[in-house]
Structure 1
Amino acid sequence: MSEAAESEGSRGREVWIEKYRPQTLEDVVGHENITERLEHYIAKDDLPHLLFAGPAGVGKTTSAVAIAKSIYGEEWRENFLELNASDQRGIDVVRDRIKNFARSSFGGYDYRVIFLDEADALTNDAQSALRRTMEQFSNNTRFILSCNYSSRIIDPIQSRCAVFRFSPLGDDAIAQQVRIIADAEGIEVTDDGVDALVYAAGGDMRKAINGLQAAAVLDETVDEDAVFAITSTARPEDIKEMVQMALDGEFTASRARLESLLVDSGIAGGDIIDQLHRSVWEFDLTERQAVRLMERVGEADYRITAGANEQVQLEALLASLALNEE
C-alpha cells in the first residue's frame, strides 16, 4: 500500500477529536487562566469540589480527565468515575452508583474523583440527593460537575464548589490547533480554509477538528469551499447579502437567497439563526439596523425553539426587516 493510501485509510479509522485530545492541563488551549489555577490545586494537594460551566467543545471534560491523570497517573481509571447525567439523571443514580463508588475501598490516595457530566440535566430531587452525598463523603471524595448552564444547578451545590466558567475558545486558539493537526496528518490547509474552520466552529474545538477531518477525506488540500460544503455552513457573505437585501426593502430577492440556503445548501434554520447572531456586528450595518436585526433574531430564535416552522419564522424575520425599511 502506498504511503498516501495508508494515510488516507488512517484518517478514516481514527477519530481525531480523541486522537488529539489533550492529556494534561498544560495541553488544554484557550483557558490558560483556568488551567493554571487547577494546576495549583493539584500541586498543593488541595483539590476542592469543582463546577465547570460553559458551552460544548471548550475543554470541560478534557480538563476533568487531565486532573485525574495528574493526580493518579496510570491508576486514574480506578480512581475516577465518569457519569453522564443526561442519560442517568434520576435520584437512584445518585443514591446507588455515586454512593457505591464513594464508599468502596481504595489505597494510596486521600480521595477519589467523581465526574458528573451535563449535571444541569439532573432533576432537582437528584441534585438535592447529590448535595447530601457531597457532604457525607467530603472526606474521601471530590466531585467535578460539568454543565452548559450553571443557573440550572441548585445554589447549595454551587456554594460547595469552586466555579470555573469556560468561555467559547478564541479564534487564535482554534486556528493554532487546526494547523498543528494538519501538520501532524500531512494535510495542506489554506489560510482561507483555516478561517472557514474557525468561523464554522464558533468557539467549539470539536467542530473545528471534525470539520478538518471530514474535509481532509475529500481532498489533500482543505480550502474554504471544502469546509463550507462539508460543515453545511453558509458563507458569511451570503448571510450578509440576504440581510442587506431585506434591509433595502428587496424582500423577494432576500427570500430567494434564504430558500437557496435552506433547500439547495441544506443548512438548518437554527444554524442560520446562530450565524446571524454571531455575525450581525460584522456586517456593514448602522447601529439602528443592527439593533433591529438583533431584536428580530431573538424573536425568531425563541419561536423556533418553541417548535415553530423554521422557514416560516426566517421569512417573517426578513419580511419584518423589509417592512421596517419601507
Structure 2
Amino acid sequence: MARVRVLPESARFPSHHETETALNLSERMPRLVLEARRVAANLSHGLHGRRRAGTGESFWQFRPFVTGEAAQRIDWRRSGRDDRLYVREREWETAQTLWFWIDRSASMGFASDLAQAPKIERAIVLGLALADCVVEAGERAGMLGLMPPRATSRIAEIMAETMVADRGALTDDLPPQAPIPALHEAIVVSDFLSPISEITAVVEGISDRGARGHLVMIVDPVEETFPFQGQAVLHDLEDGLSLRIGDAASWGTAYRERIERHRGEIGEVARRHGWTLTIHRTDRPASEAALHVLNLVTSSRGANVGGR
C-alpha cells in the first residue's frame, strides 16, 4: 500500500524567517531552479521557431517578393542592393506576455511514495521551466498579483525570489482577480481541488478582457487511484478536518467517480472559454508536461492568428 506524507507549512512558504530545516522551501529553491533550468534546456526547441510574420513593429527578416503581392510591401532600399525584389517582414507581436500562477496552498504539500516529487515542488519546477522557455523565445513572463512581466535571462531566479518574499499566496488555491490585457495568456498551475464555481470565476475573470489561458493540474498518483483498503483516516489539509472510514475500498469507488466528474467540469469550463487543460501526474517526468503545455501554447496561438 502506498505511503503518503504532508509537507509542513515551511515547505510551501519559502520565508527566510522560518526555522531553518531541510524541508524549508527557501533551502530547496536553488535546487528547484536548477531543475527547472534543466527541463527548459531540454525543451529549448519547444517555442523556438515559432516566430512568424505578422502585425508588429520589430523587423524580423527580408524575404523575396512573390508575384501577386501588393507593390507597397516592397522594400526598395533593400531591393536596390540586389537584382531581386524583397519584402520587409515584421515579427508577429501579439500575445507575447504570459502570466503565471503557482498554487502553494496546503493541498499542494501532499506527496506519496509513488511520486517523483511533492506536488508543490513539481508545480514550481514546471512554472519556472515554462517561464524560462517563453522568455528564451523572446517573450515576457509575469506572476499574477505578484510580479510584473519581465524579459530577462534570470526569469526563473526572479520568480523564485518573488515566491520567497511572498507570504500572502500561501493560503490561496487560485490566483487573484488581477486584470490581464487582451491577447495575453495565463498559465495556472494547481491541483484544482477548489469548488468548480471558484475555478469558473477565475477563468471567466481572465477571459472577459480577451485573454486566454492554460490550466495545468498537478496530481499525485495516490490522489488519482486511491489504492487503499480497510480502515483509513482522511485529512482535509485546507480546513484541518478529518474523516474516518471503515471500508476504504468501497469508499474509493465513489471518490474516483467524484474526481472524474470534477475533472470533467473543469475541462468543460476550459473548452467553453477556449482554454486548455493539462493533467500531470507527479510520477511522470516534468519535461513531459512542460513540452505538452508549450505545444498547446503554440497551437492555441496559431488557431487564434488564423481566426483574426
TM-score, with length taken from structure 1: 0.28
1 or 2 for the larger relative contact order (CA 8 Å, sep ≥6)? 2
Q: Which has the higher strand share?
A: 2
Q: Which has the higher helix share?
A: 1
TM-score, with length taken from structure 2: 0.29
